[in-house]
Amino acid sequence: MAESNYRIKTIEWQGDEVVMIDQRVLPLEEEYIHHTTWQEVADSIRTMVIRGAPAIGVATAMGMALAAMQSNAEDYQSLRADLDAAAQGLFETRPTAYNLGWALDQMKKIYGEPGEPGEIRARMKERSQEILEEDIAMCMAMGEHAAPLFPEGARILTHCNAGALATGGYGTALGVIRSVFRRDPSIHVYVDETRPFLQGARLTAWELQQEGISCCLITDNMAGYFFKKGEIDAVVVGSDRIAANGDVANKIGTYTVSVLAREHGVPFYVAAPTSTVDLGVPDGDHIPIEERPTEEVTCMMDTQVAPHGIAVCNPAFDVTPHENVAAIITEAGVHREPYTESLAEAKKGKD
Ligand code: MRU
């Protein structure tokens, strides 16, 4: 991994246990949760112990490996039945993150063909570790491709957390920021707090602070003020799913930032591995948007702030149309319009 002050491991194997840092309690507490079953992993994905599309993909792969180890099936057909059930359970946890389905496909390549159960178990665990390592390598490649896009002393706005915590390590959008910072320590980052789950305030601010990258935290509704004052030179965000035409699903509020960026002539960049690109959906209208529990909106952390019984909407993601996106950066390079062609090219030979 590149020189980094980042010391927290988002997710890793410790023997036959999958260990995750609990992102619900960061940055005030640093707690780790040990998982020995796929059901526990599914629960941790659903409840946001681990979140961020690439990290969800890694957790899914490890969850499937745990399912293989949990199963005491002695023949291929029984193992296959156990694994299909686990795959369905994991698939139902979070619908927008494409990396989840991608990781299931990767694991199915191993257990989808008849084989000796012991060998399948070993290979699935090995592959889940490879997926973690490949994810870090992809993030670092994105950082290298994207860094030259930013002017000296760039003031960069980011939304949500697309950092080491949201990936195997290093980060997509935050990985780009890390790479820009290594070339030019004079950059400054505006961090949207990202209501309702506060991934920006709790996680991005924390990661940047740990690395000594100059940053300031703003509430989501302050972004327009800073665009209008000419204090933002570029935006970089991650993504949960990118459609074939370049429409980008990301954390709720990203679309608003993209409109502000377009209005003010500021480039809006998206950094995501090709495992986030879903060529199976033609455009953003076909991306499923997760609706999350109402308490995330009515409460700030555990404190109720809205009237009891109030009606609430809580879509977790929105879609930024490709027209608002200056470039999509994957591990394969910097992709621009027409995205239908450039993304298809980026995905060639990847799945
Ligand atoms: O609901 P979350 O926290 O899982 O949403 C995460 C995001 O929207 C991230 O921006 C996205 O997954 C990219 S993470 C590298």
Residue 1, pLDDT score: 39
Q: For 75-91, what is each residue's pLDDT tens digit?
A: 999 999 999 999 999 99
Residue 301 has what pLDDT? 80
Site of tokens 């860094």 = 147
User: What confidence score (pLDDT) does residue 316 get?
Assistant: 98
pLDDT score at 186: 98
Query: Ligand 1, from 94, 239, 319: best to mutate by most atoms within 8 Å of Cβ?
Result: 239
The torsion angles phi and psi of 66, rounded to 5 degrees, stand at -65, -40
240, 247, 278, 318: which one is catalytic? 240
Give yes or no for residue 251 CB within 6 A of ligand 1.
yes
**Residue 260: C-alpha distances to residues 45, 225, 228 (Å):** 32, 10, 9
Ligand 1 neighbour 168 (Cβ under 6 A):
no
Q: Rounded to 5 degrees, what are φ and ψ at 235? A: -120, 140
Give the H/E segment covering residue 34: strand 32-35
Domains and CATH numbers, the chain: 11-139 (1.20.120.420), 140-347 (3.40.50.10470)
Instruction: Report pLDDT for 2.
Output: 42
Residue 247 designated active-site = no
What spatial distance separates the first Cα and last Cα of the chain, rounded to whole Å?
Answer: 24
* Low-confidence stretches of the chain (pLDDT beneath 70): 1-7
pLDDT digits (tens, 9 = 90+) for 291-328: 999 999 999 888 999 999 999 999 999 999 999 999 99
Taking the whole predicted model, whether its pTM rises above 0.85 is answered as yes
What's the burial of 217, exposed, middle or buried (CB within 10 Å: 0-12/13-18/19+)? Answer: middle
Q: What's the token pair of residue 199?
A: 């991934």
In what helix (H) or strand (E) does residue 346 lie, and over which residues does it extend? helix 339-347
b/e sequence 18-55, b meaning 16+ C-beta within 10 Å: bbbbbbbebeeeeeebebeebbbbbbbbeebbbbbbbb
Burial class (CB in 10 A: 0-12, 13-18, 19+), 205: buried
What is the dihedral sign for C-alpha 332, 338, 339, 343?
A: negative
Half-sphere exposure of 184 (CA within 13 A, CB side): 17
Quick check: 240 and 98 in contact, CB under 8 A? yes
Q: Mean pLDDT of all residues in the chain?
A: 96
The token duo for 17 is 């246990």
Q: Distance from the CA of 98 to the center of ligand 1, in angstroms?
A: 11
Confirm or reject: Cβ of 54 under 6 Å from ligand 1.
yes
**Please, what is the Cα angle at 320 between 316 and 324, to 5 degrees?**
155
